[in-house]
Amino acid sequence: MRLFGDLLTGTFVARPNRFVVKVQLGDLSVEAYLSNPGRLNELLFPGVSLLIEPTPNDQGKLQYRVLGLLRGNHSLLLHTHSANDMAAWLIDRDLAPGLEGWRVKQREIKVGHSRFDLLLEKEGETRLAEVKSCTLFSQKAALFPDAPSLRAAKHLRELAQLAPPNGPKPVVLFLVQAQGAKVFLPDWHTDLEFAQTLLEVKDRLEILPLAVKTDLRLDLKPKTQRLPIRWDLVEKEAHDQGSYLFLLELKESLEFDVGGLGHRAFPKGYYVYVGSARQGLNHRLARHQRLKKKYHWHIDYLRAKAKVHASLPLRSQEDLECRLAEGLAQKADFLLPGFGASDCPCKTHLFGFLKDPMADREFFDLLFWYRVDRHL
């Protein structure tokens, strides 16, 4: 399926805000519109090749818009508005396993106060379908979403309420662009509410994770594969407990007191703190981010001087804190001995980086291993 006309290839430089990216296009430095609300931290590394096109005259203020990116021998669609086109094309050609014989009758269907992507029809029966573009993946799994989405969880509940007691169930179709993914999982680390909601309504909906492939110019290929869902892992791990990585940026070198550790020097750079919470993980991370609080942990003193860069939960019933610390110690540029490690044998739970670890693929490989791939 041809989705777009002629494309230009540029190099990703930066993402100053959610909907704008800076792109190097030959000798030109340009800004392009990105119609994707996801974080895309695991995809938009400096130097990645982006597929862009001139913005149509009546669509937006920026001269270019981002459509996708190149990854190995295939591309990934980032222009989320085109996901419905892909889904409709596959369904109407019986290329979506589980939806054979169904055809798209209508798009953008309003039901009550909500709007759903597709209305499908087969032999006089109809069913609603919601389409999700999935671009988050580890070495072994495809995950959704890559950012918290209250709207996505809301749509699940509303679709489930519309499910008839008898007859075809409403559909949630995940278009998975992860080449080589073996399973699909709701990302309980990133959006616990979505994962728990999907688990709650799974028997009232038809949940179809569908692996698709686009070539180097974003043309959709006709080959698809339905991925299994590991509900056992969701039931076991989707709870508000586990470990976390709390990232801070210190814009200048400083020296200051850190509770019982005394006076310590902190070089300019990025810091990754490893912690855990047996319950109330979300509350713990929210507390770390606040400036106004009674100091209790070593990290409270550093937080007062540094800017929050990211909070990365790793929800699990297992205690991963020291294993994460061991893995980060092998990647860090420098260590802060004794920091946050008074109750364990680790040398430290604070690791310093001269460059942003969020721009390092190996950092995300470590994160995904402990989040997902160790289970598979």
* pLDDT-derived band at 179, boundaries 50, 70, 90: confident
CA atoms of 212 and 86, how far apart (whole Å)? 9
SS3 311: strand
**Which pLDDT does position 212 carry in this prediction?**
96
SS3 376: coil
**Which pLDDT does position 59 carry in this prediction?**
65
Strands 141-144, 183-186: pairing kind: parallel
Worst-scoring range by mean pLDDT, 71-75, 116-120, 291-295, 351-355?
71-75
**Which pLDDT does position 178 carry in this prediction?**
79
* pLDDT-derived band at 251, boundaries 50, 70, 90: very high
Instruction: Give me the amino acid identity at 317.
Output: Q
With a cut of 80, say whether residue 57 has pLDDT above it. Answer: no
With a cut of 90, say whether residue 227 has pLDDT above it. Answer: yes
With a cut of 70, say whether residue 319 has pLDDT above it. Answer: yes
Worst-scoring range by mean pLDDT, 83-92, 146-155, 170-179, 320-329?
146-155
**Which pLDDT does position 184 carry in this prediction?**
98
**Which pLDDT does position 343 carry in this prediction?**
86
**Average pLDDT over every residue of 301-305:** 98
Q: Which domains does the chain have, with CATH numbers?
A: 8-77 (2.40.50.580), 81-237 (3.40.1350.60), 242-375 (no CATH)
CA atoms of 142 and 175, how far apart (whole Å)? 10
**Average pLDDT over every residue of 330-346:** 95
With a cut of 80, say whether residue 7 has pLDDT above it. Answer: yes
Instruction: Give me the amino acid identity at 184.
Output: F
CB 83 within 8 A of CB 63: no
With a cut of 90, say whether residue 150 has pLDDT above it. Answer: no
- Residues of the chain with pLDDT > 70, as a percent, come to 99
pLDDT in tens, 270-301: 999 999 999 999 999 999 999 999 999 999 99
**Which pLDDT does position 83 carry in this prediction?**
94
Residue 141 parent element (H or E): strand 141-144
Residue ranges in 188-340 assigned as alpha helix (H): 192-201, 231-237, 281-289, 298-303, 321-329
**Average pLDDT over every residue of 161-183:** 93
With a cut of 90, say whether residue 314 has pLDDT above it. Answer: yes
**Average pLDDT over every residue of 34-62:** 88
CB 142 within 8 A of CB 134: yes
CA atoms of 163 and 30, how far apart (whole Å)? 47
With a cut of 70, say whether residue 58 has pLDDT above it. Answer: no
Q: Report the chain's mean pLDDT, rounded to a whole number.
A: 95
Instruction: Give me the amino acid identity at 26.
Output: G
